[in-house]
Chains A and B, each alone.
Chain A
Amino acid sequence: MYKILSKKVLNETVIEMEVHAPFVARKCLAGQFLMVMVKEDGERIPLTIADYSRERESVTIIFQVVGYTTTLMSELSEGDKLYAVTGPMGVPTHINGKLKRVLGIGGGVGVAPLYPQIKAFKEAGVHVDTILGGRNKDYVIMQDRFTDASDNLYVCTDDGSAGIKGFVTTQLQKLVDEGNEYDEVIAIGPLVMMRAVVEITKKLGIKTSVSLNPIMIDGTGMCGGCRLTYDGKTKFACVDGPDFDGFLVDFDELISRGKKYKKQEEKHMCMLDRGGN
């Protein structure tokens, strides 16, 4: 169990792995995530299920090497085994096939969780436009897969090495200004990116779904470590989410809570800055 079936290096810090995990693959759906442990006394980290195969009993995870555990994972090869892969966790994304036009916005490694949702909408017959953003052309991952899964694909890079030069929000504003109408926006990426998207879509009244991945320990609703303030109430990202209505999320609090173990992580000469830099 948990054997790495294949490994692809997508860029200098992002790795894709297909892992044999029968209990996860048999039932997982878009939007759900899993917990990975590399070794017995290591930590548990949440990663979104980017893709899955019921026949191969496998799940695909795409992760950025940002800390101790992801560094250890990056050093494993095809054929090696992870210690634990548990899931699926979280509420599956609600794919409303009756929608007409959906816009997906993915930033950095956030495109990995965006992919299964976009794919599901497209398969349900919805028109899908996607904006992918990254630092430079190497950081806009999964472009081929998104091209197949979207009616229109827009790429943005900070340095202009691919697509337009600018942030995903620049492209979002452009699409809106050009008269494009969307029933729903799905924004997944660094918290600051999702916050920026919501700032625009809230004013325009376009329903926006975000996907959150705070620090988690168990992922089953047991500890409250992943809690956030949502519509003034406390919710757990692992069991009430990970998808949430972006308009009701307290992003500032989440951004602050995400930095809680920065000092400890730095002691291990790693950086805890989840979601892409």
Chain B
Amino acid sequence: MSKFNMSLKKVAMPELDPKERVKGFSEVAIGYTKEMAMEEAKRCLQCKNPKCVGDCPVATPIPEFIDEVAKGNFKEAYEIIVKQNTMPAACGRVCPQETQCEGVCVRGIKGEPVAIGRLERFVADYVREHNLIETKKATANGIKVAVVGSGPAGLTCAGELAKLGYDVTIFEALHKEGGVLVYGIPEFRLPKEIVQYEIDEIKKLGVKIVTNVIIGRSITVDELVEEGFKAVFIGSGAGLPKFMGLPGENLKGVYSANEYLTRVNLMKAYQGGDNTPVQEAKNLAVIGGGNVAMDAARTALRMGVENVYIIYRRGEEELPARLEEVHHAKEEGVQFRLLNNPTEFIGDDDNWLTAVKCVEMELGEPDESGRRRPQVKADSEYEIPMDSVVISIGQSPNPLIKQTTEGLKTESWGGIIVEEETCETSKENVYAGGDVVSGAATVILAMGAGKRAAAAIDAKLNS
């Protein structure tokens, strides 16, 4: 048997049938068996100068861990990954690998790249299912650090500092840990049990998480410093929903994606019963084209909505969502109305949404983001009956920290200004990273920032 698997295609990922899977919230991608994983791992050519590692925001040692997978040493593979990436089960599932590691994989030149994401996920799942993880606590150095927010940025910063012996406490405003991993990303993409498992592993490093504490209200950043925390990392995320400012936006039936997803994911509307509900709808439109929009659309299908639309003002190529999410959404029956934009939300006398007025768009010259600018096509207005609308056009940093922390410099749109390499803010010993700095982005970028901040905090406090 040759050492490498020269197949041009990735080993296929077994998935739940699209028609069946929309009846529930089970995870869509079932996962590789160990045979599949080993077969796929052999597609990696173990490049001497691997391009993939450099494109990973947390520098996961990719060829190294894949080499262990090819040999069937899954525990070793995990230990390699987790030195750099403390949440492989999540990352393997939600990273936009096509724009990162897999996007530069040499196998991708002639055929499909190595399925790095699927392999990462496989390793994390395997060691969890077989109870192979042995997390050890480092020797404590007695220095207290506070982290604001238990999402990916905060969890990562905390984990990295704990590995170095710091006494870290994460303060979380919600009643559950995980941030966007639990309130935003749906169960069928990222099972919450798995998220909790990875969080528990981080806690085993010695990290403490206190829920139901709102930094900025229950206690301010400055007060944390007064209480003896030598550094504070702010990872409070981008939880401020953007609305379009269109007429009728406050009609009953119009949700922000945050509200819709939080009701279903965090507050378990999908379990029915006495939990926080969402409105029943026959026709629902999601405005937007990113991962959050796909999540909202696919969630709506699972909540029993007959016709779910994605209304997005640009075209297919411009959709910012992860390719796999778009693909899955189409398979499940989400109806894509690309190059369309809403102009007004129409309601009845009782202020319930009944229809959405839209126009068609065409693409002109590129704008500052590099994407072709959408323009309204003349005389293309039409109305489509609708019971619910989910506005999914982006989220901005939650302004509470900025409003309650004196001397913290932010951009006009709310992003905390930091020094790029160290993540330090305009306040000494106060750091920030993730969506609160960049605006809504990805889990892995948040983790990358958490790591850089942890390294910078350690450099400062240890000197």
Contact = CB atoms under 8 A, between A and B. Distances in A.
A20 interface: no
A223 to B, nearest CB: 4
Interface stretch (A11-19, A35-43, A184-192): A35-43
B351 A253 contact: yes
Contacts of B250: 227-229, 234, 253, 257
A203 interface: no
Given A42-B275, A220-B173, A221-B239, A26 B219 contact: yes
Contacts of A84: 175, 211-212
Given A41-B275, A84-B211, A222-B262, 4 more contacts: A86-B213, A87-B217, A221-B239, A221-B240
Interface of A: 23-24, 26-27, 32, 37, 41-44, 68, 83-89, 217-218, 220-225, 227-229, 234, 239, 253, 256-257, 259-261, 264, 268
A253 B247 CA distance: 13
Contact of A83 (B175, B240, B276): B175
Which secondary structure characterizes the binding site on chain B? loop
Contacts of B365: none
B259 A260 contact: no
Contacts of A32: 217
Contact of A37 (B175, B183, B218): B175
Nearest to B257: A223
6 contacts: A27-B218, A87-B218, A217-B276, A218-B239, A223-B259, A261-B279
Interface residues of B, number: 38
A166 to B, nearest CB: 30
Contacts, number: 112
Interface string B322-362: 00000000000000000000000000001100000000000
A222 B398 contact: yes
Contacts of B259: 217, 223-225
A221 B175 contact: no
Nearest to A234: B243
A212 B357 CA distance: 31
Interface stretch (B135-143, B263-271, B303-311, B441-449): B263-271
Contacts of A225: 255-256, 259
Nearest to A254: B250
A43 B276 contact: yes
Given A221-B399, A222-B241, A43 B218 contact: no
A23 B262 contact: no
A268 B351 CA distance: 24
Given A228-B250, A264-B277, A223 B214 contact: no
B351 A257 contact: yes
